[in-house]
Amino acid sequence: MAFPGQPAPGGGYYQGGYGAAPGGPSFPGQAQDPLYGYFAAVAGQDGQIDADELQRCLTQSGIAGAYKPFNLETCRLMISMLDRDMSGTLGFNEFKELWAVVNGWKQHFVNFDSDRSGAVDRQELEKALTNMGFRLSPQAVSAITRRYSTHGKITFDDYIACCVKLRALTECFRRRDASQQGFVNFQYDDFIQCVMSI
Protein backbone atom coordinates (compact mmCIF):
# COMPACT_ATOMS: atom_id res chain seq x y z
CA MET A 1 0.00 0.00 0.00
CA ALA A 2 1.04 3.65 -0.29
CA PHE A 3 0.61 6.93 1.51
CA PRO A 4 -2.45 9.20 1.24
CA GLY A 5 -3.56 9.68 -2.33
CA GLN A 6 -0.68 7.64 -3.74
CA PRO A 7 -1.36 4.37 -5.47
CA ALA A 8 0.49 1.46 -3.94
CA PRO A 9 2.51 -0.93 -6.08
CA GLY A 10 -0.32 -3.47 -5.77
CA GLY A 11 -3.03 -0.93 -6.52
CA GLY A 12 -4.40 0.05 -3.07
CA TYR A 13 -4.49 3.38 -1.31
CA TYR A 14 -3.39 4.10 2.23
CA GLN A 15 -4.20 7.18 4.28
CA GLY A 16 -2.01 6.54 7.32
CA GLY A 17 -4.93 4.89 9.12
CA TYR A 18 -7.69 2.46 8.43
CA GLY A 19 -11.40 2.92 7.92
CA ALA A 20 -13.78 2.16 10.72
CA ALA A 21 -17.38 1.44 11.44
CA PRO A 22 -19.67 3.99 12.98
CA GLY A 23 -21.11 3.07 16.36
CA GLY A 24 -19.77 2.98 19.85
CA PRO A 25 -18.55 0.42 22.36
CA SER A 26 -20.80 -1.68 24.52
CA PHE A 27 -21.60 -0.79 28.12
CA PRO A 28 -22.82 -2.72 31.19
CA GLY A 29 -26.29 -2.67 32.74
CA GLN A 30 -27.91 -5.29 30.56
CA ALA A 31 -30.98 -5.90 32.73
CA GLN A 32 -32.14 -2.28 32.33
CA ASP A 33 -31.15 -2.09 28.70
CA PRO A 34 -34.06 -2.16 26.21
CA LEU A 35 -31.94 -4.28 23.84
CA TYR A 36 -31.75 -7.00 26.45
CA GLY A 37 -35.37 -7.93 25.77
CA TYR A 38 -34.62 -8.71 22.12
CA PHE A 39 -31.49 -10.60 23.11
CA ALA A 40 -33.08 -12.59 25.96
CA ALA A 41 -36.10 -13.54 23.84
CA VAL A 42 -33.91 -15.63 21.54
CA ALA A 43 -30.84 -16.50 23.63
CA GLY A 44 -30.83 -19.99 25.03
CA GLN A 45 -30.02 -20.93 28.60
CA ASP A 46 -26.35 -20.42 27.75
CA GLY A 47 -26.95 -16.67 27.39
CA GLN A 48 -25.50 -16.68 23.86
CA ILE A 49 -27.03 -16.34 20.42
CA ASP A 50 -25.95 -18.15 17.28
CA ALA A 51 -26.57 -17.11 13.66
CA ASP A 52 -30.14 -18.49 13.52
CA GLU A 53 -31.02 -16.78 16.79
CA LEU A 54 -29.36 -13.54 15.67
CA GLN A 55 -31.41 -13.60 12.49
CA ARG A 56 -34.63 -13.99 14.52
CA CYS A 57 -33.54 -11.32 17.00
CA LEU A 58 -32.70 -8.77 14.32
CA THR A 59 -35.94 -9.52 12.47
CA GLN A 60 -38.05 -9.16 15.63
CA SER A 61 -36.27 -5.94 16.58
CA GLY A 62 -37.08 -4.33 13.25
CA ILE A 63 -33.53 -3.02 12.79
CA ALA A 64 -33.77 -3.72 9.05
CA GLY A 65 -36.77 -1.38 8.88
CA ALA A 66 -38.52 -1.59 5.52
CA TYR A 67 -35.63 -3.59 4.06
CA LYS A 68 -35.83 -7.36 3.85
CA PRO A 69 -34.56 -9.27 6.92
CA PHE A 70 -30.89 -10.22 7.06
CA ASN A 71 -30.07 -13.54 5.46
CA LEU A 72 -28.37 -16.25 7.48
CA GLU A 73 -24.97 -15.77 5.82
CA THR A 74 -24.97 -12.09 6.76
CA CYS A 75 -25.78 -13.09 10.35
CA ARG A 76 -22.85 -15.54 10.33
CA LEU A 77 -20.58 -12.76 9.10
CA MET A 78 -21.83 -10.44 11.84
CA ILE A 79 -21.07 -13.03 14.50
CA SER A 80 -17.60 -13.72 13.10
CA MET A 81 -16.81 -9.99 13.23
CA LEU A 82 -17.30 -9.80 17.02
CA ASP A 83 -16.88 -13.40 18.20
CA ARG A 84 -13.71 -12.84 20.20
CA ASP A 85 -13.75 -16.23 21.94
CA MET A 86 -14.39 -18.04 18.61
CA SER A 87 -17.46 -19.82 20.03
CA GLY A 88 -19.66 -19.10 17.01
CA THR A 89 -22.04 -17.16 19.26
CA LEU A 90 -22.44 -13.68 20.74
CA GLY A 91 -23.00 -12.73 24.37
CA PHE A 92 -25.05 -9.68 25.29
CA ASN A 93 -22.15 -7.19 25.30
CA GLU A 94 -21.01 -8.42 21.87
CA PHE A 95 -24.61 -8.13 20.69
CA LYS A 96 -24.80 -4.53 21.95
CA GLU A 97 -21.62 -3.68 20.09
CA LEU A 98 -23.05 -5.29 16.95
CA TRP A 99 -26.29 -3.35 17.38
CA ALA A 100 -24.41 -0.03 17.56
CA VAL A 101 -22.29 -0.84 14.53
CA VAL A 102 -25.23 -2.06 12.42
CA ASN A 103 -27.23 1.04 13.33
CA GLY A 104 -24.29 3.21 12.24
CA TRP A 105 -24.05 1.35 8.94
CA LYS A 106 -27.82 1.62 8.47
CA GLN A 107 -27.60 5.39 8.92
CA HIS A 108 -24.82 5.54 6.34
CA PHE A 109 -26.86 3.42 3.96
CA VAL A 110 -29.88 5.73 4.31
CA ASN A 111 -27.70 8.84 3.94
CA PHE A 112 -25.94 7.59 0.82
CA ASP A 113 -28.98 6.03 -0.86
CA SER A 114 -29.57 9.43 -2.41
CA ASP A 115 -32.34 8.33 -4.77
CA ARG A 116 -34.11 6.39 -1.97
CA SER A 117 -34.21 3.27 -4.12
CA GLY A 118 -33.45 0.90 -1.23
CA ALA A 119 -30.08 0.12 -2.80
CA VAL A 120 -26.79 1.91 -3.37
CA ASP A 121 -24.81 2.00 -6.58
CA ARG A 122 -21.05 2.04 -7.00
CA GLN A 123 -20.72 5.81 -6.58
CA GLU A 124 -22.92 5.85 -3.47
CA LEU A 125 -20.94 2.93 -2.01
CA GLU A 126 -17.66 4.73 -2.67
CA LYS A 127 -18.94 7.85 -0.88
CA ALA A 128 -20.11 5.78 2.10
CA LEU A 129 -16.80 3.92 2.38
CA THR A 130 -14.83 7.15 2.09
CA ASN A 131 -17.02 8.68 4.79
CA MET A 132 -16.17 5.73 7.07
CA GLY A 133 -12.47 6.42 6.54
CA PHE A 134 -11.62 3.76 3.98
CA ARG A 135 -9.34 4.97 1.22
CA LEU A 136 -9.66 2.36 -1.47
CA SER A 137 -8.56 2.44 -5.07
CA PRO A 138 -11.23 2.68 -7.78
CA GLN A 139 -10.32 -0.91 -8.70
CA ALA A 140 -10.99 -2.09 -5.12
CA VAL A 141 -14.35 -0.31 -5.02
CA SER A 142 -15.27 -1.86 -8.38
CA ALA A 143 -14.32 -5.33 -7.09
CA ILE A 144 -16.43 -4.81 -3.95
CA THR A 145 -19.34 -3.60 -6.08
CA ARG A 146 -19.12 -6.65 -8.36
CA ARG A 147 -19.04 -8.96 -5.33
CA TYR A 148 -22.02 -7.44 -3.48
CA SER A 149 -24.29 -6.02 -6.18
CA THR A 150 -27.06 -7.36 -8.35
CA HIS A 151 -27.30 -5.46 -11.64
CA GLY A 152 -25.03 -2.77 -10.16
CA LYS A 153 -27.20 -2.17 -7.06
CA ILE A 154 -26.30 -3.21 -3.50
CA THR A 155 -29.25 -3.92 -1.20
CA PHE A 156 -29.18 -3.16 2.53
CA ASP A 157 -28.49 -6.79 3.48
CA ASP A 158 -25.57 -7.00 1.03
CA TYR A 159 -24.33 -3.58 2.15
CA ILE A 160 -24.18 -4.81 5.76
CA ALA A 161 -22.41 -8.02 4.64
CA CYS A 162 -19.89 -5.88 2.72
CA CYS A 163 -19.27 -3.60 5.72
CA VAL A 164 -18.87 -6.57 8.06
CA LYS A 165 -16.34 -8.24 5.79
CA LEU A 166 -14.44 -5.02 5.16
CA ARG A 167 -14.26 -4.27 8.89
CA ALA A 168 -13.17 -7.81 9.78
CA LEU A 169 -10.51 -7.96 7.06
CA THR A 170 -9.25 -4.50 8.04
CA GLU A 171 -8.97 -5.55 11.70
CA CYS A 172 -7.13 -8.72 10.68
CA PHE A 173 -4.71 -6.65 8.59
CA ARG A 174 -4.31 -3.92 11.21
CA ARG A 175 -3.33 -6.41 13.94
CA ARG A 176 -0.47 -7.59 11.74
CA ASP A 177 0.61 -4.13 10.58
CA ALA A 178 2.71 -3.29 13.66
CA SER A 179 4.27 -0.18 12.11
CA GLN A 180 0.93 1.06 10.68
CA GLN A 181 2.53 1.59 7.29
CA GLY A 182 0.01 -0.36 5.21
CA PHE A 183 2.22 -3.41 4.66
CA VAL A 184 2.11 -6.88 6.23
CA ASN A 185 3.66 -10.26 5.62
CA PHE A 186 1.30 -13.19 5.96
CA GLN A 187 2.24 -16.81 6.15
CA TYR A 188 -0.10 -18.77 3.92
CA ASP A 189 -1.78 -20.62 6.78
CA ASP A 190 -2.28 -17.37 8.74
CA PHE A 191 -3.82 -15.74 5.65
CA ILE A 192 -6.22 -18.66 5.14
CA GLN A 193 -7.27 -18.63 8.81
CA CYS A 194 -7.88 -14.89 8.68
CA VAL A 195 -9.97 -15.00 5.51
CA MET A 196 -11.89 -18.17 6.34
CA SER A 197 -12.84 -16.96 9.82
CA ILE A 198 -14.82 -14.11 8.24
Please provide the CATH number assigned to the domain covering 34-197.
Answer: 1.10.238.10
CA 14-16-19 angle, to 5 degrees, is: 70
Walk along the chain (198 residues) in steps of 10 and give the mean pLDDT of each run: 36 47 44 78 86 87 79 89 85 90 89 88 92 90 93 92 88 86 85 79
Burial class (CB in 10 A: 0-12, 13-18, 19+), 22: middle
β-strands 119-120, 154-155: how paired?
Answer: antiparallel
Share of the chain above pLDDT 90, in %: 24
Q: Where are the domains of the chain?
A: 34-197
- Tally Cβ neighbours within 10 Å of residue 65: 10
Residue 164 CA from chain centroid, whole number: 2
Question: Count of CB atoms within 10 A of residue 41's CB?
Answer: 13
Per-residue pLDDT reduced to its tens digit, 109-141: 999 988 888 899 999 999 999 998 888 999 999
- Sign of the four-CA dihedral 86, 168, 151, 114: positive
For all residues of the chain together, what is the average pLDDT? 80
